[in-house]
Amino acid sequence: MSSLPQQIPSTFTRMVGCKYPIIAGPMFLVSDVDLVVATSETGGVGGMPSLNWRTTEEFRTAVQAVKKRTQKPFAVNLIVNQSNPRQEADLEVCVQEKVPMIITSLGNPKTVIQAMHQVGGKIFCDVTDLKYAEKVEGLGADGVIAVSSGAGGHAGPISPFVLIPYLKKHLKIPIVAAGGISTGEQIAAAMTLGASAVQMGTRFIASTEAHVEENYKNAILKSDPEDIMLTKKISGTNLAVIKTPYIEKLGTELGIVEANLLKNPKLKKYVKMARIWIGSQKLKNAILGPTYKEVWSAGQGVGLIEDISSVKEIMNRLVHEYVTAMERNKEMLQALSHTGP
């Protein structure tokens, strides 16, 4: 492998202060201190959900542990809707600890943007369409995470080949591409379309630093894009998971009673919270220990993952593949310039 560039400059890397425009996406119970630190130390940005810790104080301890082990930028994911009773307390930790970057999901990020900007934090918001992207830009977000089809977790409905240039056409803030990305060639494609960084989740589950059930990692290696299916039975909305016998038995659609309750304005909040809690317990049991109730979230990028490597090895490979792809594009342009009329 040829020598790697010291950095891949982009609007994102300059804004956040990292070497490479790669975020290890914040993943439920997967993204712990070790994975975050390993990603940030190798030039990317490690991300972690605040709700990966049972209490706000445990979350504070985790943030302090990350800061003790790396001086590089990292990110915290905050759920900013009513289903998260800890959002105010966890935000206060992020403010007090001056977390460098926040990724918001599922709600209005106004309070987060105002609070974190006072301590120099950057806020990127998960978006799946233009309407919400324009809203968060108007609120002062520093960038958006364009979650497209093919993503793990709660995937968006729009192809990245449409969503990224569509957002780029209408927004002034940086766009991070998310959804099915597992290789450096895909990073090059996303950057060509107008993204200034990418967010990758599934690729980092298949890493030595990810402290998850080995069967989960092996399932990623064995799965193809066709093995990723969407189910509402975990969180109430479509969640991308690996097809397993248990998922097939569980089904993909909510029952009639629960679906109707979710339409009730007075009950919707509580029904959704109950569904999320039940689903999170299923995910937790499958992620952390062997169980026949196999519920593993992953994106369509599983088809491009063939090994379990260290985060450093993964990052080096991604950067090498990116550089190779960009050099190939350069050669193609040079060939075109020498083609006669």
- Give the pLDDT confidence of 252-308 residue by residue, as tens digits: 554 554 455 456 665 555 545 554 555 555 555 555 555 545 678 899 999 999 999
User: Can you give the pTM of this predicted structure?
Assistant: 0.87
Q: What is the pLDDT of residues 10-62, one digit of tens each?
A: 999 999 999 999 999 999 889 999 999 999 999 999 999 999 999 999 999 99
How many CB atoms neighbour CB 335 within 10 A?
Answer: 9
How far the first Cα of the chain sits from its last, in Å, is 38
DSSP for 152-220, written as a single string: SBS--SS-HHHHHHHHHHH-SS-EEEESS--SHHHHHHHHHHT-SEEEE-HHHHTBTT--S-HHHHHHH
Q: What is the mean pLDDT of the chain?
A: 87
Residue 73, C-beta contacts closer than 8 angstroms, at least 6 positions apart: 16, 17, 18, 40, 45, 100, 101
Token pair listed for 54: 């049972």
- Position 338 scores a pLDDT of 67
- Position 322 scores a pLDDT of 95
Higher pLDDT, 103 or 273: 103
- Position 258 scores a pLDDT of 46
Higher pLDDT, 329 or 277: 329
Q: What is the pLDDT of residues 166-192, one digit of tens each?
A: 999 999 999 999 999 999 999 999 999
- Position 273 scores a pLDDT of 53
Residue 69 near residue 77, CB atoms below 8 Å: no
Residue 302 near residue 202, CB atoms below 8 Å: yes
* Domain layout of the chain by residue ranges: 11-211
Q: What is the pLDDT of residues 81-92, one digit of tens each?
A: 877 889 999 999
- Position 231 scores a pLDDT of 80
Higher pLDDT, 327 or 168: 168
Which CATH fold would you assign to the domain 11-211? TIM Barrel (3.20.20)
Q: What is the pLDDT of residues 186-212, one digit of tens each?
A: 999 999 999 999 999 999 999 999 999
Rounded Cα distance, 20 and 318, in Å: 10
Higher pLDDT, 329 or 237: 329
Provide the 8-state DSSP code for 140.
T
The answer to which of 107-116, 147-156, 312-321 has the lowest mean pLDDT is 147-156
Distances (CA, A) of 266 to 22, 155, 216, 260, 274: 41, 27, 38, 12, 14
How much of the chain exceeds pLDDT 90, in percent? 68
- Position 280 scores a pLDDT of 59
Report residue 213's pLDDT band, with 50, 70 and 90 as the boundaries: confident
153: pLDDT strictly greater than 90: no
